[in-house]
Chains A and B, each alone.
Chain A
Amino acid sequence: MQVDIRNRPSFANLLVHFSPGDSIIAEAGAMATMSSNIDMKTRLNGGFFGAIARRLFGSESIFINEFSANSPGELVLTQPFPGDIVCTELQGNTMLLQPGAFIACDPTVRLSLGWAGFRSWIAREGLFRIKVSGKGRVWFGAYGAIFEKEISGEHIVDSGHLVAYEPTISINVGLAGGIFTSFFSGEGVVTRVRGQGKIYMQSRSFDGLAAWTNSHLL
């Protein structure tokens, strides 16, 4: 099964080319268009309680869709907001995604919900995160462009810009600078990521969009 990421980075979407016997798991509502020969099966996203927990805390749907085909076909998957999509290949390792980032994965990938902790919450990265593990490809999206960085030691990310990270990375909340700088620089609270591993960041943040929109409302 070949998957192309098209129209990057602003309006990225996935074009999935099915060969007979292929299948892919996708977030409910991600399908934009598909060939008529593709089967779509809807099932709970994990167990019953797991699915509900992911809906409540992970901003993901209760249901996920499994698309499969016995003959060649095409499927287009997309995300609700403008931005890039990337693919990461898991080799038995785990990746943690921010709520709402997950788009699709190979059927061999396991999806679960992990507790992210209060530090992550204060850093405005959410109390929970989606955990993807196993072997296979995972596609996830972000608002704006996505850039990745291999961390070794410490790195600073503004709150709301972290999209995905490895469990080998620790998330800490910190002030951007001194008290004065932090409050008046517009940076406020930042996320300090520490450890060895990869992080994915988005070039825009929803908080930033919300604040900007708010300032233009009456």
Chain B
Amino acid sequence: MNQHNQSFSGGVFHPSIPGGRAGAEITINRGEIIAYTQCDGQPVFSIPINQCQLDLGGASGRMLFCRTPDGQLTIFSEDKHFAQALDLHSGGLLGNQINTLKRAVRSESKKLGFWILASSLACALILFIGYFAMLWAAKATIASLPISIDEKIGKLALDSMDVGKRLDSAHPASKLVQSIVDKLQPHAAIPNMKFKVIVVEDPQVNAFALPGGQIVVFTGLIREATSAEQIAGVLAHEMSHATLRHGLQSVSQSLGIVAAIQLFVGDIGGLVALGAQIAQQSILTSYSRTSETEADLEGARMLHAAKIDPQAMAEFFGLLKEKEGDIPDAIAWISTHPQHSTRIENIKNHQKSFPATQYEPLDLNLKEAQEAL
């Protein structure tokens, strides 16, 4: 191998060059690093190897600089064989220097990696805390808003929804449901909330509550129920959604997450926005489950207060377990109902905390209502 003919592309810094710098072909010969420039007059520069002061850096982090002790002349190259050649020609003199420099660069990039990791974790933590702070703030704000807002939103939502054929309020089924609601109403958490029931002809075993106290019950549910207490259980659950103001919370959350991300991240690009939306979807789903559980427990409390056995609610979930109705997407919290067995368990456990009471059976004729359908 003829090392004397090895040449490396690089450059030179020297004040004598117009502009102070030029590209150069570098060779190592007879103990000197020699740079042949390409600028006018093609001047040649050289540094004796034993006077060379090494440095590693540049945009790539792999550029090797050789400087004269006075710092006037610098010859540099990015060629990976340049370091080897220098080591070889210096008789191992510069090899140690090169290795020390490389180690320093490596440890610096490790340090950078650590900082990137640490700061991403910190950002994630801030977002996480910020998110829950936002939820808490939204909940607190909603609690201070007047019920009339819920009523307006509920009315708007119902008007824009095509729920199907409504039963007349004089229909025995409508009367049955309304009388249960009337019995539960005095025990609702918000005393002045006006509950209104709409019975809709639909085979689905389902019911939903809109903000402000409008409750839609499908005839399928009345047909499937084996006792009036079971219908009372479902109604208590739906009324609780309204009194706990879950509708407003879910709206404020959808807006809140986007607002929170914008607050922390600033202007968000398309990709980030998409990511946020996906995250939001999954967060909302699990939050709605929390609402469901809340409504179950509050419903059980209402039933107990109205002297109706909360067990009927659990019973009805047992029925639902067997018969799952088609779920319209528009009603978010129905599609996110938790596992029935978990809910039954929760209600039973919650009931244990109530003082012992003599439950009274409902004096209502379910059979008559079912036959009229």
Contact = CB atoms under 8 A, between A and B. Distances in A.
Nearest to A119: B112
A92 B37 contact: yes
Nearest to A129: B59
Contacts of B63: 167-168
Interface in A114-172: 116-117, 119, 122, 133-135, 150, 165-172
Given A167-B78, A168-B65, A196-B74, A91 B267 contact: no
Contact of A165 (B20, B59, B65): B59
Interface string B74-100: 101010000000000000000000000
Contacts of B146: none
A167 B22 contact: no
By CB atoms of chain B within 10 A, which of A89, A93, A134 has the most? A93
Contacts of B60: 117, 167
A76 interface: no
Contact of B39 (A92, A166, A168): A92
Given A92-B22, A92-B39, A169 B59 contact: yes
A90 B38 CA distance: 10
6 contacts: A92-B11, A167-B59, A168-B13, A168-B65, A170-B59, A211-B266
Nearest to B266: A211
B38 A92 contact: yes
Contacts of B22: 91-93
B17 interface: yes
A196 B13 contact: yes
B69 interface: no
A176 interface: no
A197 B38 CA distance: 18
Contacts of B23: 90-94, 133-135
A210 B267 contact: yes
Contact of B58 (A93, A170, A198, A210): A170
Q: How large is the interface on B (under 10, 10 to 19, 20 to 34, 35 or more residues)?
A: 20 to 34
A116 B11 contact: no
Contact of B116 (A91, A122, A210): A122
Interface of B: 11, 13, 17-24, 37-40, 57-61, 63, 65, 74, 76, 78, 112, 116, 266-267
A120 B370 CA distance: 72
B19 A170 contact: no
B255 to A, nearest CB: 16
A93 B78 CA distance: 12
Nearest to A90: B23
Contacts of B58: 167-170, 195
Nearest to B56: A170
A62 interface: no
A51 B283 CA distance: 43
A196 B65 contact: yes
Contacts of B24: 92
B11 A93 contact: yes
A187 to B, nearest CB: 15
A94 to B, nearest CB: 7
A89 B57 contact: no
B29 to A, nearest CB: 20
A196 B17 CA distance: 15
Contact of B57 (A91, A165, A195): A195
Contact of A91 (B39, B59, B76, B266): B39
A96 B78 CA distance: 15
A92 to B, nearest CB: 2
Contacts of A116: 59
B61 A93 contact: no
Nearest to A168: B58
A93 B112 contact: no
B76 A168 contact: yes
Contacts of A92: 11, 22-24, 37-39
Contact of A173 (B21, B57, B112): B112
A214 interface: yes
A177 B101 CA distance: 27
A133 B23 CA distance: 9
A162 B180 CA distance: 72
Nearest to A135: B38
A194 interface: yes
Interface in A8-45: none
